[in-house]
Amino acid sequence: MKIGILGSGQLARMITIAAQPLNIATLSISSDPQDRGNGVTPHFIGSFHNEADREAFCTQVDLLTYETENIPLEIVEACRHNKLIKPSSDILRIAQDRLFEKEEFQNLAIPTTEFYPVSSLEEFAQALIKTGYPAILKTRRFGYDGKGQFIVRQPSEMAQAFESLKNSELILEAFVAFDKEVSLIAVRNSTETRFYRLVENIHQSGILRYSKITSDKADLQNQAERYAEHILKKYDYQGVLTIEFFVKENQLIANEMAPRVHNSGHWTFEGSYTSQFENHIRAILDLPLGSCEASHPYVAMFNFIGTLPEKAQLLKLENVSFHDYAKIPKTDRKLGHITLVENDKKQFEMKCLFLEKFIGFNKIY
């Protein structure tokens, strides 16, 4: 059994690592013969934009999945003719466009932020009257880690915002003064759905810095699961689906979704019985899903961005696991993460304080 993965970053890397114990191989595709890929996933040399290469790649694998929603839809649609792709390109079409995504949340009665498509300066001005300030102008597609966004805090910033993003299709979103951000990782095979515990996500400059599983009462978890089920059922979804929510006054407001394994689920490698990566594989192959229960009451995941610390420095902390993505360091690039699991609350809080400082997280930003 061999799974073709579109994309070859750290998510493909971790899917590959999780697939190995099950004796399931993976293959990504790269047009550069010198590409070191992610150091783990083997790759086929060819270009996805070339039909012959794409077909050759597809014949080498049993089915396809993807590690990013930022793949041109026409490429994924073209692959669909050669090979089963899971999750399907129908959900990808929605998830890779902020406008479609928010419209779909509305269709499915999932609360979301106020939003307006923006295709001209006039439309932008009209939309800003409705949202008020601040509001966020975003590209509809290909944004990640806070890229392709502009916070408009006052009318004088309008022109600059539009100028900086005008070459893309845009959406204006009302600013939500949320209490916190959480995400739900759901997984579904053809017959069964399971959910991991909600995690609280802490971002800085648009990039996820760390995640902690929450001790939220059942109502938030239930709300989140109900919303996720609307999407999973509609798309007859197979694989992992991530939904990010704002929490305001104990209500969820859907912000975005990703039809894939997600940074906010990396904790599941050590903090849950079955990792999101293994469950994604089980789901797309329609194998029985594994338990999503947290293995410890306290679990956190901290990202290393831009620089990677010495392993020995962190491994001396009890109950810490280290993941190094084998990447070349670069500003704002995610290079690795650590997971911390604890049974004891005090130990957990002490170590979290240390680790927040260690990763350079600054609460005032």
Tell me whether residue 239 or residue 290 sits nearer to a copy of itself (CB atom): 290
Round to whole Å and give the CA distance between 36 and 325: 12
Instruction: Collect all residues with Cβ–Cβ distance below 8 Å to 328 and sequence separation of at least 6.
Output: none
The CA–CA distances, whole Å, from 111 to 117, 185, 198, 224, 357 equal 18, 18, 17, 11, 35
When asked if residue 191 is in the footprint of a copy of itself (CB under 8 A), the reply is: no
Kindly tell me which residue out of 5, 6, 15, 17 binds a copy of itself, with binding defined by CB under 8 A: 17
Judged by CB under 8 A, how many residues of this single chain contact a copy of itself?
34
When asked if residue 229 is in the footprint of a copy of itself (CB under 8 A), the reply is: no
Tell me whether residue 130 or residue 311 sits nearer to a copy of itself (CB atom): 311
When asked if residue 37 is in the footprint of a copy of itself (CB under 8 A), the reply is: no
When asked if residue 201 is in the footprint of a copy of itself (CB under 8 A), the reply is: no
Window 302-331: residues binding a copy of itself (CB under 8 A): 311-312, 315-316, 318-319, 321-326
| Ramachandran category for residue 106: left, alpha or beta (phi over 0 → left; psi -120 to 50 → alpha) | alpha
Helix axes 121-131, 158-165, angle to 10 degrees: 130
Q: Are 16 and 281 in contact (CB under 8 A)?
A: no
Tokens in use for 110?
């999932």
Tell me whether residue 101 or residue 270 sits nearer to a copy of itself (CB atom): 270
Interface with a copy of itself by CB under 8 A: which range of 22-30, 43-51, 83-91, 172-180? 22-30
Window 261-300: residues binding a copy of itself (CB under 8 A): 269-270, 273-274, 282, 287-288, 290-291, 295-296
Instruction: Collect all residues with Cβ–Cβ distance below 8 Å to 314 and sequence separation of at least 6.
Output: 320, 322, 338, 358
Round to whole Å and give the CA distance between 51 and 198: 41
* Residue ranges binding a copy of itself (CB under 8 A): 13, 17, 20-23, 25, 39-40, 269-270, 273-274, 282, 287-288, 290-291, 295-296, 311-312, 315-316, 318-319, 321-326, 336, 341
